[in-house]
Every structure is written in C-alpha cells, then in structure tokens.
Amino acid sequence: MSFAANNLKSPRRHRHRGGHEAQDGVIHSVTANAALWPDFSLFSPTVPEDAQTSALAGNTASPKMLLVNAHPDDESEGAALVYRITHELGGTVDQVVVTNGEGGNHYSALAEAYYRLPLGAETAGRRKLLGQIRREELMRSSRILGIRHNYFLDQEDTGTTLNPAEAFNAWDIDRVRREIRMLLQFEKYHLVLLLLPTADTHGHHQSVAAITLEALADLEPEERPAAVGVRTAPALTGDPGRFSGLDGYPMTRTTSAEPVWSFDRATPLNCHPRLDYSIVVNWVISEHKSQGLFQMEFGRRTHEHFWLFEAGGKAGEARWRELLRMLERHEASCQDTAHRQAKRQRVKH
C-alpha cells in the first residue's frame, strides 16, 4: 500500500469560506501564511535530492496529514513529527481546531503584561478576547511547523475538565463530525494525528478523538488513513504508559497497548547534526504566551510517543509503515550526504 493509492485528485476546495452558522455546514479556513509574514510561496522545504528520489520511488507521493485538535496549542504535542513531515519529506499538513481556546484563562496572568490586556477576568468580553489571541498564537505556531491550512470550527471551550461529556453537551457534534468527514473525503489524507485520548487528559481531547475516529470509520476500508494518537512524556520517567482505548468509546481502541513508535526530540536534526528537534518544539511552545502552565509543563516533555488506532484498518497500518520508511530513508540520505561532505573535506586537507 503506497501513499499514491490514497492520493487521487480531489475536488477543488476553497481556503476561506464564509459563515459560522451550524446550519450552513461550512468551516472557516485560515492559511498559515498570514499577511504579517513574507510570501510563503517563496519557501520550499529543504529535502535532499537523494531523499526526494527515494521517497517518491515506486510512484509513492509525499505524505499528507490532518491534525484534529480541541484547542490552539495542542499541535505542540506532535510538533517534531509534523516538522519532519513538512520540512524533510516535503509533505502537506492541515489542521482542524474545534475551539478557540477561550476557556484557557487559568494561567494567563503573566501574559496580561505581555499583551497589555485583561485576559484572566471571567467575563464574556475576556473570553472572546482570549479566543482571538489564541487563534493568532496558533497561526504563528503553524508558520513554524509549515502547516498549510487551519480550519476553525468555533465550538465553545467550556474550560478545564476530564469529562468528555461536557463537549458532547456543549458542541454541535453533528456539525463537527460532518466537517471532519468532509475534509477526509475531499483531501484524501494519508494520516490523521490526534492527541491520545487517555482518561487523565483534557475531556475535550477525548471528545475530539472519539468524534474524529467515528468520522474516519465512515470511509471505505481501503481509503482510510492511518489514525495515530500522540502523547509526550518526560525523559526522566521514560515510561509513556499503556493505552488500549478509552472506556465507553470502542472506536478509540489501539492496535497495541504500547506505543508503536517513539521519537526523542533531542535527536540531532537530519543534515544539521549540531542542532536538535527540541529547538523547533521550543519555538512552537513559545508562541503560546497566553498559556503559562503550558510553557512550564511542555518544556519538560522530551519524547513523542505514538499509538495506532484500529479504526484505520489494514490500509491505515500500511500507510503508517510507509511514513516510517520514508523517514528512515531521509535519515539514511542525510547520513550519506554528511559522509560525502566529510570525505571531501579530508581530501582538501
């Protein structure tokens, strides 16, 4: 199973769509190349020629991934993998953000001085203001990661909770599911990345995972992308934990209780051995200045761990294996390039 099998030409889709009413059944997309930035079209990922040839061998297309997250800042959980897909493999990444994060004011006090705005006050105006700021923070983070489009669904952020039922009661679930399903059908993604819906994570993360996996399961088995859940963990513990599924949500079952793949953010950047991926992750985290505790907590998380959901089926598993092969080929290409450069240096001396 190659990526090309899931890369059929899809109908043209508008980047910006008007209206937010639930009955309209539309979503508002904002591209990461906002007017504040230089022309994004001038940028192209640095992918070694050997890696491009290897990755596309056998009629295999570059990977195309969709992130589905509950809040702005959730994209940081799998930031190293996203960066590698966009900048090393020349892949495409889009993101759905279900809420604007207006409920995340508990640790915004320090950011009030930075933004010179009252972000911590419990008022309707404050919630709207914080939601706008967090969307802008997400756009800057998306620029770093190379995310193509962000789709905002504008559902209510009800605040901190471990109960997924809060989202099911507050959101227009039919609309959220419909919009995600529509994107999956039209864009033909190879991978879908979610935050792992453990019982001890935010209830909105659990809800988003359940909704997305239900929408994914509506696709024909051979068209399903790999459905992957990510969870970060500190290096000190070294134990990412076990996860087989969220009680009461059978669609969240994973192929194994242990992670199917893990990545150390301290790994040297491919083709840049004196730097590592934690730099990129720190750039992403630093954009979310309105989230004080987030800044502290996620700075300690050094490893990204990934679980594969059963909902992707055999086609999804094959696409996940192909992604890992592409990453391995890129690493090998970089090592070969470094070896040739070192050899040339020795010859010169």
* Four-way CATH pick for 3-348: 3.40.50.10320, 3.40.50.720, 3.40.50.300, 3.30.465.10: 3.40.50.10320
pLDDT of residue 14: 40
Q: Show the 3-state SS of the chain.
A: CCHHHHCCCCCCCCCCCCCCCHHHCCCEEEECCCCCCCCHHHCCCCCCHHHHHHHCCCCCCCCEEEEEECCCCHHHHHHHHHHHHHHCCCCEEEEEEEECCCCCCCCCHHHHHHHCCCCCCCCHHHHHHHHHHHHHHHHHHHHHHCCCEEEEEEECCCCCCCCCHHHHHHCCHHHHHHHHHHHHHHHCCCEEEEECCCCCCCHHHHHHHHHHHHHHHCCCHHHCCEEEEEEEEECCCCCCCCCCCECCEHHHCECCCCCCEEEECCCEECCEEEEECHHHHHHHHHHCCCCHHHHHHHCCEEEEEEEEEHHHHHHHHHHHHHHHHHHHHHHHHHHHHHHHHHHHHHHHC
pLDDT of residue 29: 55
Q: What is the pLDDT of residue 64?
A: 98
Q: What's the confidence (pLDDT) of residue 43?
A: 43
pLDDT at 326: 97
**Which pLDDT does position 39 carry in this prediction?**
43
Q: What is the pLDDT of residue 110?
A: 87
Q: What is the pLDDT of residue 301?
A: 86
Weakly modelled stretches of the chain, pLDDT under 70: 1-60, 236-238, 298-299, 336-349
Note if the pTM is more than 0.75: yes
For the chain, domain boundaries:
3-348
